[in-house]
């Protein structure tokens, strides 16, 4: 229950910030939407599937089992990577 409430709070914050700052560049708003929508998708799974998320992507490299994920996880990860890229990579001045 604590995990569900925690995810709901983070998703609500991300959606609220991105709606309030819609005039910001898309490189800042779209990653937050991806994180929020991925969180909403996982939250819906947790609420309606007795606390479980359906994972259907399995990535194996040889005998090594590296990960199990779903599209919501990809959206969350891609959004976080885009935000980190935006924070750490500054445009060059001409």
Residues annotated catalytic, as ranges? 55, 73
Are the C-beta atoms of residues 38 and 72 closer than 8 Å to each other?
yes
SS3 (DSSP) at 93: coil
| Phi and psi based region of residue 65 (left: phi greater than 0; alpha: psi -120 to 50; beta: remaining) | beta
């Amino acid at each position: 229950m604590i995990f569900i409430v925690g995810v709901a709070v983070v998703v609500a914050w991300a959606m609220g910030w991105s709606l309030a700052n819609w005039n910001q560049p898309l490189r800042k708003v779209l990653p937050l939407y991806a994180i929020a929508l991925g969180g909403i998708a996982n939250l819906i799974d947790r609420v309606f599937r007795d606390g479980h998320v359906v994972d259907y992507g399995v990535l194996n490299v040889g005998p090594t089992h590296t990960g199990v994920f779903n599209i919501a996880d990809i959206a969350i990860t891609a959004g976080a990577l885009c935000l980190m890229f935006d924070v750490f990579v500054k445009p060059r001045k001409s």
